[in-house]
Amino acid sequence: MILPLQYLRAFAAGIVVVYHAYNQAAILFGAGKDRLSFGAIGVDIFFILSGFIMMLVSEQREDKPIKFFARRLLRIIPIYWCMIALYVASDTIFGPFGFFRSAQQILYSLALWAPIHEPPVIGVAWTLRFEFTFYVCFAIALVISHRHRGQLAAFGLLVVLALLHYYTGHDPVLEQTRRWSGAFYEFIYGIALYCFWRGNRTFTPIRNLDAPCSLAVILLAVGLSCVFLLPFGIGGRLVPHFYEKQLAWGLPALVVFICWFWVFSRNTLSGMGERLLLHYGDASFTLYLIHFPVLASLRTLPLLQPAWRSVGPAGYTVVAVISSLAFASLFYMLIERPLLRYLKNLFGRQHRALRIEPALVGSVTELNEPAPLDATTIR
């Protein structure tokens, strides 16, 4: 388990939750909805993490592509389907929130192929389509050459980009994917960073910084990235086209990733702060998927309306974020972790070579970790 990446997962999922919580507060109070739109950078950080960690977990495993892809499916899809059931239940009991509209919509969502006119039950699950496209490219790369898997996967993503932009049809799913296809470059950023880190290990100059200086580096990187994103946010004046996403959002996310990894490679946390970040690094996939029905339920429950009027948008945002963290923690401990253990045991009995990797859009729990690469950065 590389600690900086675990910490970063918790941070990335957390800022997405803060962003969506404030949007719900804006709906409730009529405030400026897009003031915290830079929080969406958490998704871009996750894409870079995916590229980096796919390279890492395949470092010492020359697995067959089918096994590789099966582990990805087993790690993500069961939890995702459980979450769809939770969304439908919350919409039925506490809604209507608009999550669930038809049986056809559920079928589209289960297959990760929900078109624009039938949006997915879980709105944030659009990212999984990008993730699995990357996994397919990576699996094909493993077929050709394990040693050159990174270069081949990056080339595959560029081929996908070319096909998307030369395709003249009007399939709504492909159109939506094309709109944000710049995100594919962010997986390439992660692959390149891994190759740089693996070959050079140049994150050492900052090893002797004390805690305040380390924190200052992180805050400066995050702060500058947020300032840069203000005009490019959802409500900004310079909303990027699909071909600009890798610059408008990907480069700030890359800066945050590098600075974060640079600092925490040599400066680990301790105590309650570390335990919380490690826990929510594990539970970040659940947090990413579960927070929206929690936020919507809190916003619409009649019994809570007097409380929200008294605390205002900031108070609602704080309570909503804490509630999302609490529900995510419960779901992770009671459902996700036991389910993963069951799947590991089930498929482990059938085929001992089949191992379940971490969900790269969320949880990073390594059920079977590769051998440590560097004792100074890996616990």
- pLDDT, tens only, 265-274: 766 677 788 8
The residue range of the domain holding 41 is: 3-350
Range in 105-109, 151-155, 334-338 with the lowest mean pLDDT: 105-109
Range in 18-32, 75-89, 316-330 with the lowest mean pLDDT: 18-32
Closest CA to 360 of 187, 119, 162, 115: 187
Query: Under a CB-based contact definition with an 8 Å cutoff, are residues 287 and 19 in contact?
Result: no
When mean pLDDT is compared over 16-20, 256-260, 359-363, the highest value belongs to 16-20
> How far is 147 from 180, CA to CA, in rounded Å?
30
Query: E-assigned strands of the chain?
Result: none
Inter-axis angle of helices 284-300 and 65-93, nearest 10: 10
Q: Give the residue, 240 or 219, on which the prediction is more confident.
A: 219
Instruction: Say if residue 366's pLDDT is above 50.
Output: no
Instruction: Say if residue 351's pLDDT is above 90.
Output: no
Domain assignment present for 372: no
Per-residue burial over 114-143, b = 16 or more CB atoms within 10 Å of its CB, e = otherwise: beeebbbbbebbbbbbbbbbbbbbbbbbbe
How many CB atoms lie under 10 A from the CB of residue 236?
A: 15
Q: Which residues pair with 378 in a beta bridge?
A: 2
User: Tokens for 212?
Assistant: 């305040």
Q: How many domains does the chain divide into?
A: 1
Which H helix or E strand runs over 304? none
> How far is 260 from 211, CA to CA, in rounded Å?
13
Assign 35 a pLDDT band (cuts: 50, 70, 90).
Answer: low
Domain assignment present for 238: yes
Predicted pLDDT at 353 = 46
Q: Which residues pair with 2 in a beta bridge?
A: 378
> How far is 87 from 139, CA to CA, in rounded Å?
31
Range in 135-139, 140-144, 259-263, 351-355 with the lowest mean pLDDT: 351-355
Query: Under a CB-based contact definition with an 8 Å cutoff, are residues 12 and 364 in contact?
Result: no
Query: Under a CB-based contact definition with an 8 Å cutoff, are residues 109 and 289 in contact?
Result: no
Assign 12 a pLDDT band (cuts: 50, 70, 90).
Answer: very high
Query: Under a CB-based contact definition with an 8 Å cutoff, are residues 354 and 347 in contact?
Result: yes
Q: Give the residue, 260 or 208, on which the prediction is more confident.
A: 260
Question: Hunting for tokens 């990357």 — which residue is that?
Answer: 134
Which residue type is seen at 215? L
Domain assignment present for 12: yes
How many CB atoms lie under 10 A from the CB of residue 377?
A: 20
Instruction: Say if residue 121's pLDDT is above 70.
Output: yes
Closest CA to 361 of 13, 7, 46: 46
Domain assignment present for 355: no
pTM, two decimals, is 0.79
Domain assignment present for 14: yes
User: Tokens for 166?
Assistant: 């030369």
Predicted pLDDT at 212 = 58
Q: Give the residue, 264 or 72, on which the prediction is more confident.
A: 72
Domain assignment present for 376: no
Predicted pLDDT at 80 = 92
Radius of gyration over every alpha carbon of the chain, rounded to an integer in angstroms? 20
Residues 6+ apart with CB under 8 A from 73: none
Percent of the chain with pLDDT over 70: 72
If 0-12 CB within 10 Å is exposed, 13-18 middle and 19+ buried, where does residue 79 land?
A: buried
Any idea of the CA torsion for 19, 21, 27, 28, to the nearest 10 degrees? -150
What average pLDDT does range 5-31 have in this prediction? 87
Instruction: Say if residue 119's pLDDT is above 80.
Output: no
Average pLDDT, the chain: 76
> How far is 199 from 263, CA to CA, in rounded Å?
19
When mean pLDDT is compared over 114-118, 194-198, 255-259, 319-323, the highest value belongs to 319-323
Predicted pLDDT at 9 = 92
Instruction: Say if residue 134's pLDDT is above 90.
Output: yes
What average pLDDT does range 244-258 have in this prediction? 76
Closest CA to 180 of 161, 162, 163, 193: 161
Assign 309 a pLDDT band (cuts: 50, 70, 90).
Answer: confident
Domain assignment present for 375: no
Assign 362 a pLDDT band (cuts: 50, 70, 90).
Answer: very low
> How far is 197 from 205, CA to CA, in rounded Å?
13
How many CB atoms lie under 10 A from the CB of residue 198?
A: 15
Domain assignment present for 148: yes
